[in-house]
Structure 1
Amino acid sequence: MPCFTAIQLNILTVLLFFCFWAPIARSLPDNSGSIRLPSDGFTNADENEGVSARFNKPSSCPVNCFRTEPVCGVNGVTYWCGRADALCAGTRVAKVGFCEVGSGGSASFPGQALLLVHIVWLVLLGFSVLAGFYNDPEFANVDSSENESILPFKGTILRTKSGNISSPVEEPCVSCTTFNILAPIYKRLDQQNQSVRESDFRAFWLARNERIVDWLLYESSSIICLQEFWVGNEELVHMFEERLSAAGYKTFKLARTNNRGDGLLTAIHQDYFKVLNYRELLFNDCGDRVAQLLHVKSVVPFSINQNNCVEQEILIVNTHLLFPHDSSLSIARLHQVYQILLYLETYQQENKLTQMPVILCGDWNGSKRGHVYKFLRSQGFVSSYDIAHECSDREADADKWISHRNHRGNICGVDFIWLRNPNKSRKPLKISWAEAAFGIIKFQLQKASLAENDAFAFLRADNSVDHITYSAFCDALRQVNLTGLSYGLSFQDTKDLWVQADFDGNGVLDYEEFKRIWNSTWSDHMDEDCSSDDSNEGNEEETVGFTVKNAALFPREVEKGIWPENYSLSDHARLTAVFSPVRLRCPRRSP
């Protein structure tokens, strides 16, 4: 409800008094010389006749009237309340309409007419005042910097009259929002005293989070994925769950391990999806990170062809990766993504699921230049925002948009909604993971100013041989902080990498095998659509995937690489993507 000021309430009270308690205009005797206010006394029959056929005085005089139907009496007076008004005055109607200028009816301007004018302008004033209520920033209950973001603009999402985000094209769509809402236990209020956090001030964190829910309900996305959700505060959890539930959402929350205080919240709108299964993935690593997996089915069937509709199933993941405090943590973040994708594969195999789209949402704590981004691209995933805005993987497009300003003041794009359709070709997960890990090894060696030949010598360790042994390989990884730490490669990870690198399986890596690792490029990944040649028709099946219709970041300035200083909802921007179902032909795969 809007919050009215005392002045606004007083004005509204006066308006209501004049509009509803002011006396209704009445007709006066003919000799008053007054202009009459309108009534319903004049009929179509009178208009057709042109004059009053009979002189029958109405049973009730004077006549009450609100709608103008002027007639001219035989005495030259205009009667504004119609035929009945003239009869009350004891005169006949000479014609329909005003009397000629100079007649008695035009001689003066009566109080009733003035009253009508006052009522009209008071009503108009009332509408103006009411309009002012809804333009009040307090009514919007959001940051002023976000007010502009609700307007449609080229390349972003449009809103319906109800406020729901939608595609510009009238077709069934699925919308998804991801938002790191900055847990109050992490929000610093005083840069000089880092220990002062928002969580110490209930009024602050409650008001900010209520505004966050306002925006989420305004957008009404089919899927909502939140990170840094303050699961440790029962009041905040209850507020989110109660309001989202009342709006038709089913919510799932998951705390980070070791009582970190924050976690994840995923909300699925029950008008769009039915939740078939919910799983929790605990990484149990140095960052105590977690992930949620939801298996959902569309409530409204999607059309595959003219004769077949399906209730499409989708796999949704919500996660928040480890923050890269230094480059040695890159391998831990990459391993978290590897675990998510491995878990997805295992879940589909165990449940004998057919091919379906996968949507990954969250704060990935890494930009488009990072190893995580390249790893996901190698697995057939596309960034919904980059697809919607035609941003490529090239370096020139790496900084076109941002979504986060961290506590150090650095800005970058780290929030993504990834989509993988079932018709996307991709390398086997273990091979793709090995290539990504070798990419990090190469990066660490290059940081130490080692070129290709020097890197081979470093890994070889023993200058008396022309190959790399497994023990020398492990020692080298330890020296660049990729093993031997709680967040580094495990023994099994290292062993798997060695198996992938030892192409001929002879137990050592020669220079040619090393070059194969060193020169491995991310451009080799396969992300083209599967063939739809008629020759393969017998081995294909039709399914439903998604195409990215639109995507937008809020506040709008971040889409231009600018972080607005007056934005205070979070230290992250909110990302929303809209997907439209599309028919796909895919090769049959074993579940």
Structure 2
Amino acid sequence: MGRKHRGGMTKARVSRIGSFAIASSVKDATSISCTTFNILAPIYKRLNNKDQSCRESDYRANWLNRNHRILDWLLNERSSIICLQEFWVGNEELVNIYNKRLGDAGYINFKLARTNNRGDGLLTSVHKDYFRVVNHQELLFNDFGNRVAQLLHVELVAPFLQCRNNNVRQEVLIVNTHLLFPHDSSLCLERLRQVYKILQCVESYQKENQLNPLPIILCGDWNGSKRGHVYKFLRSQGFVSSYDTAHQYTDADAHKWVSHRNHRGNICGVDFIWLLNPNRYRKLLKTSWSQAVFGMFKYQLRQASLTENDAFAFLKADSHGDYITYSAFCEALRQLHLIGHPYGLSVEETKDLWVQTDIDGNGVLDYKEFQQRIWNPTWSEQRDEISHEVWKDDVHGTEQTIGFGVKNAVLFPTEVEKGMWPEDYSLSDHARLTVVFSPVRMPCSRLMA
């Protein structure tokens, strides 16, 4: 493309031409693109609302036609990275079709089934014109919901070869996952724990391979909105929602787009491509986890109209002093259903929370510790300041690495970008999200203490 496109397109331009903007950006030799799409496994697709047992998987012509249409869209868009959820790994014919059509188009494919033979799973494909696969790991949680995740460590290749420099790493970590559906409030903590495990695995991989900070792209069906605890948790780790960044949406703009109509008939925005750039300062992972759990704790107390003083009194319970004991702390967690059931905090997790909260280590929590660790913890709300400029060769100073600016992002069908779900859309019960990234050079960051 010409030089005038390198700086990215304006928001109005993106909205006006929709998918065509993505198609044009994909052809730009200075960009890479990523698509995430829950393609609705035929074993889950209901064909008759009155007969819940009537599924698309029983009608070969139906699922064959729909999946060929999905592949037509994917191959027409030709994203550098494709992350699919609810891929029907249990059907060999379907798996072979995806392997053949994507393979013929130049993709390297990795599939992963959910545990306990659930039938569906994940498919992650990267195009060999853009990436060399350094490593691939499968993350099996073996917990409630039989959830899994894929981690790909890739290196950028042509057309970025002309930008190659011995002092600049050109590697990326890609994660594809599908979180548990929040069937009831007791599962909120389990969903948060699933994300925590993913980030722990990513962090462990980086340490084991002695990797300095790399850009991380998290794709998938998160089964939670911008209003949820998972969203806040990822934000505290420095991740940004690529779609919201492209459209300059804030947290207050959650109603402006949707990406899913669930089995209850509700429309919601749950599909995200998260980006963490290597120059983002972020909290220690355990700190973010603790604050996320206390965020759930605080949310429930506020729902009950408890003020800060009320909350301290609730935690203090029958303590004779002006402090909170460990037993009272546990009882409060039990009353708020954060412990005492199969998906609640374990004894080890509960003790770890207590240790982090008891700042002076004297075995009780005073009001100041309650404020600093539970009621008013400091969240990292730094904005992503990465510009849309392309790489420059005159980089000086600290150690450099590759990062990404969000150049463009589009949801299809386009109606969902206005918060509406089209009745005539039949490819899936999810929208397809594609984001275009522009590589930029940037210094590495360090974790916050």
After TM superposition, the score normalised by the length of structure 1 is 0.68
Pair 1:258 & 2:116 matched: yes
Distance, in Å, in 2 between the alignment partners of 1:155 and 1:511 is 55
Distance, in Å, in 1 between the alignment partners of 2:384 and 2:256 is 25
> Aligned residues: percent identity?
67
Give the secondary structure class of the aligned counterpart of 1:466: coil
Matching of residues 10-409 of structure 1 within 5 Å = 153-154=15-16, 156-158=18-20, 165-167=23-25, 170-300=28-158, 302=160, 312-393=170-251, 395=252, 397-409=253-265
Distance, in Å, in 2 between the alignment partners of 1:303 and 1:574 is 30
**Alpha carbons 1:424, 1:527 under 8 Å: kept:** no
Shift of 1:338: 0.9
The residue type equivalent to 1:376 in the other structure is L
Shift of 1:514: 1.5
Pair 1:424 & 2:280 matched: yes
Shift of 1:316: 0.2
Distance, in Å, in 2 between the alignment partners of 1:538 and 1:577 is 29
Compared CA separation, residues 379 and 583, structure 1 to 2 (3 A): same
Matching of residues 509-520 of structure 1 within 5 Å = 509-520=365-376
Which structure is richer in relative contact order (CA contacts within 8 A, separation 6 or more)? 2
Compared CA separation, residues 364 and 538, structure 1 to 2 (3 A): same
Distance, in Å, in 2 between the alignment partners of 1:304 and 1:471 is 62
Which residue matches 2:440?
582
**Alpha carbons 2:236, 2:381 under 8 Å: kept:** yes
The residue type equivalent to 2:131 in the other structure is F
Distance, in Å, in 2 between the alignment partners of 1:570 and 1:370 is 24
Distance, in Å, in 1 between the alignment partners of 2:257 and 2:200 is 30
**Alpha carbons 2:35, 2:79 under 8 Å: kept:** yes
Distance, in Å, in 2 between the alignment partners of 1:400 and 1:152 is 15
> For 2:400, which of 521, 524, 542 is the aligned residue?
542
**Alpha carbons 2:40, 2:428 under 8 Å: kept:** yes
The residue type equivalent to 1:450 in the other structure is L
Pair 1:460 & 2:319 matched: no
**Alpha carbons 1:541, 1:586 under 8 Å: kept:** yes
Shift of 1:398: 1.2
Give the secondary structure class of the aligned counterpart of 1:387: helix
1:476-517 CA deviation, whole Å, 9 max, x = no partner?
212222112222212222122111211221111112221223
Compared CA separation, residues 267 and 276, structure 1 to 2 (3 A): same
Which residue matches 2:352?
496
Give the secondary structure class of the aligned counterpart of 2:74: helix
Distance, in Å, in 1 between the alignment partners of 2:17 and 2:227 is 23
Distance, in Å, in 1 between the alignment partners of 2:275 and 2:181 is 23
Distance, in Å, in 1 between the alignment partners of 2:324 and 2:396 is 47
Shift of 1:357: 0.6
The residue type equivalent to 1:484 in the other structure is G
Which residue matches 1:438?
294
Give the secondary structure class of the aligned counterpart of 2:444: strand
Shift of 1:155: 7.0
Which residue matches 2:9?
none
1:230-253 CA deviation, whole Å, 9 max, x = no partner?
111111111111111111111111
Shift of 1:527: 4.9
The residue type equivalent to 1:312 in the other structure is Q
1:165-214 CA deviation, whole Å, 9 max, x = no partner?
34289441111000001111111111122221111211111111111111
Distance, in Å, in 2 between the alignment partners of 1:270 and 1:165 is 19
Shift of 1:298: 1.1
Give the secondary structure class of the aligned counterpart of 1:284: coil
1:410-457 CA deviation, whole Å, 9 max, x = no partner?
111100001111000111111111111100111223334433333222
Shift of 1:294: 0.3
Distance, in Å, in 1 between the alignment partners of 2:214 and 2:186 is 35
Larger Rg: 1
Distance, in Å, in 2 between the alignment partners of 1:214 and 1:583 is 34
Which residue matches 2:3?
none
Distance, in Å, in 1 between the alignment partners of 2:359 and 2:213 is 31
Shift of 1:361: 0.2
Compared CA separation, residues 337 and 306, structure 1 to 2 (3 A): closer
**Alpha carbons 1:285, 1:487 under 8 Å: kept:** no
Distance, in Å, in 1 between the alignment partners of 2:371 and 2:167 is 51
Give the secondary structure class of the aligned counterpart of 1:399: helix
Give the secondary structure class of the aligned counterpart of 2:425: coil
Q: Over aligned residue pairs, what C-alpha RMSD do you find?
A: 2.5
Distance, in Å, in 2 between the alignment partners of 1:478 and 1:445 is 13
Unaligned runs of 5+ in 2: 1-12, 387-394
**Alpha carbons 1:321, 1:365 under 8 Å: kept:** yes
The residue type equivalent to 1:446 in the other structure is R
Which residue matches 1:98?
none
Which residue matches 1:411?
267
**Alpha carbons 2:26, 2:436 under 8 Å: kept:** no
**Alpha carbons 1:378, 1:527 under 8 Å: kept:** no
Which residue matches 2:4?
none
**Alpha carbons 1:257, 1:289 under 8 Å: kept:** yes
Shift of 1:529: 5.7
Distance, in Å, in 1 between the alignment partners of 2:60 and 2:27 is 43
**Alpha carbons 2:29, 2:159 under 8 Å: kept:** no
The residue type equivalent to 2:229 in the other structure is H
Compared CA separation, residues 477 and 348, structure 1 to 2 (3 A): same
Give the secondary structure class of the aligned counterpart of 1:514: helix
Distance, in Å, in 1 between the alignment partners of 2:14 and 2:285 is 40
Shift of 1:538: 9.5
**Alpha carbons 1:424, 1:529 under 8 Å: kept:** no
1:315-367 CA deviation, whole Å, 9 max, x = no partner?
00000011111222111111111111111111111101122110000001111
Shift of 1:404: 0.4
Give the secondary structure class of the aligned counterpart of 1:193: coil
Unaligned runs of 5+ in 1: 1-150, 531-536
